[in-house]
A and B are shown apart, each in its own frame.
Chain A
Amino acid sequence: MTALLTLPIVLPLLGAGLSIMVGRSRAAQRVISLVVLTAVTGISIALAVVVDREGIVTVQAGGWPAPIGISLVADRLSSIMLVLASIMLLAVLVYAIGQPGAERNHVGFQSVYLILSAGVAASFLTGDLFNLFVAFEMMLTASYVLITLGARKDQVRAGMTYVVISLIASALFLSALALIYTTTGTVNLADLSERMAEVPEGLRLAFALFLLMIFGIKAGLFPLFSWLPDSYPTAPSAVTAVFAGLLTKVGVYAIIRTQTLLFPPEARPQQLILWIAGATMFVGVLGAIAQADVKRILSFHIVSQIGYMIMGLGLFTIAGLAGAIFYVIHHIVVKTTLFLTGGLIEHVGGSGRLSRVGGLVRTAPVVAVLFLVPALSLAGIPPLSGFVAKFSLVSAGTAQERWTIVAVSILVSLFTLFSMMKIWSGVFWSPADEAPDVEPHAVGRWGGPVLMIVPTAALAILSIAIAVGAAPLYDLAERAAADLLDPQGYVQAVLGR
C-alpha cells in the first residue's frame, strides 16, 4: 500500500536520472520513459481501486506521525486525478515520439518530461501545503524547460511571460504559507483543517481569498488568465497538449482541495467563486471566438472550460462538486485530444492558421474525425461526454436555483459550439485562402504518422467511453464529492485518530 503511494512520484524521478545517464541513445531514453509511465499508469489505477474500496490511503514520510512528518494522502479525488494524469502523460509521450520535429530529439526532453510527471503526481498526492508548493515548483520548472526547449524567438518571448507569471504566483504562495504558518503553526492540510476553525473569521476569509488567487493564477481564472493563451501555443503540440490537459487542472485540483478541506462552510467565498466562474467561462469563450489559429482558439477554450469546473465547486453541494469532478475527467481527456489533433492539423496541413489550411476533410479524413469527436464533446452535444458533464453541472445549478450561472453556462456552450465550428469550417471544409507555411506532410495510409494517430484515436475513444460509462463514473465522482464535503474522514485518516 505504501509503495503504491510513493511509486508514482519516485519512479519518474529515478527514470529521469537514468534517462540523463543514457543520454547518448534516444532509443534507450524513449524505452525508459515508456516503461516508467506505463508502470505509473498501472500503479495509479491499482491505487484508485484500493482507495475506492478501502478508503483513504496515507503514508507518513520517515515514519513520523502526521503533523510532524510529511504526509502523502490519496483520497478518491486525488487518485482519480492521478489515473487521468498518467494516462494522458503516456498517450502524449507516444505522440511525441511519433511527431517529427527537433524538440522531441532534444537530449533533455525525456528526462524533463518524467520530472514533470513526478511533479504532477506529487501535487495530487501530497497532504501538506508546503509540499504542495514544492511539487508545484517541480512541475513548473520542468514546464519552463519544455516550453522553451526549441529556444526560438517566439518561444523565448512566451516562455518569459510564463516563467515570470509563475514565479510571481510562487512568491505569493510562499507569503501565504508564511502567514498561514504564523497563524496556525502547521502546514499539514489535515491539521490545518482542524485549526482553521479557531482562526478569526476575517483572517480565515483572507486566507481563502489568498489561496484562491494563487491557484487561480495557475489554473487560469478570470482575470488572471491572460498568460495562458499567450504562452501555450508556442510550444510543440505534444507539450501544449500535456500543459492544456494537466497543468491548469492541477491548479483546479488545488483550488477544490484547499477550499473544501481547509475552510468551514461559512468561511468559503461562495458568491465570489460563482461570479469568477461565470466571468471565466464567458471571457474565455469570447477570446476564443476572436482568434484565427487552431491552437490559440483551443488555448482560450481551456480558460473557458476552467470556469465550468469552478462553477461546480462554487455550488458547494455534492451534486455540484460531483459535476465538477466529472467535468475535470471529461475535460482532461477531450482537451488533450483536441491539442493532439491540432498538432496533426499542422502536420498534414502545413499550418495552424485557419486561413492557411483548408479542405482537410477530403485530404485527411481521419484527422477530421479525430477532431470532430472531441470538438462536439467539448461543446456538449449529446451523447458525448461533454453533454453528461454539462448536464450534471446545470442540474446541480438549477437545484440550487443559481439561475444566472446556469444561464451563462448554457450560453457559453453555444459559443463553444460556434468557435469549434469555426475551426471545422476553416480547416476541414472551406478551401485555404493562402499558401501554408511549410509544405504539408504526406497523409499516408493511416491518415497521418501511425504513432501520432494511434494515441489521439485512443484518447478520442476514451472520451466516448467516458460517455458510455457515465453512470458508474458519475457515481464515483459523487462518492469523491461526498468525501470532499465531509473533511472529517480525510482528517482522521491522516492524523490517525
Chain B
Amino acid sequence: MKSQDDIIKKTLRKEMQRIDDDLFTDEIIKRHLSQKVPVAPRPFLNFVSMIVGLSFTLLSLGLILLVKTNNRILKSIDFSEQHGYILFLLSFFFLIYKWLDDLTLKHTLTNLQKNVTARCKDESD
C-alpha cells in the first residue's frame, strides 16, 4: 500500500499541470502593491472642536443680547457689549483655526498615501 501511495504521489507530482506564465507571480505582486489602502473618511471638522466653538459663539451672542437688554447681573460684573464681541470673535477664530488644521491634516495624509503607493510601485517594478 505504501509503495502504491508513493507511486500515486509521484505520478501526480510529475504529471501535474504547471503555470508556464513567467509573469504570473510578478503580476500578483504588482496588483497587490498597487491596491490602494482605504483611508477612513474624516469629518469636515472635528466633532469636539465644532461643539466647543459653536457653544462659545452662541454663548457670546446670548451675552451680547443680554447686555443690550440692560441685564443687571452682567452690569454688576462690568460685562460690556465689547466684551461680548471679543468673546464672539475669539470663538469664531477658534472655529476657523480648527477647520484649517483639519484640512491641512487631511492633505498631509493624502500626500503620504500617494507617496507610499508610488514607492511600492517603484519597488515592484
Real binding pair = no
**Residues of A near any B CB (own CB < 8 A):** none
**Residues of B near any A CB (own CB < 8 A):** none
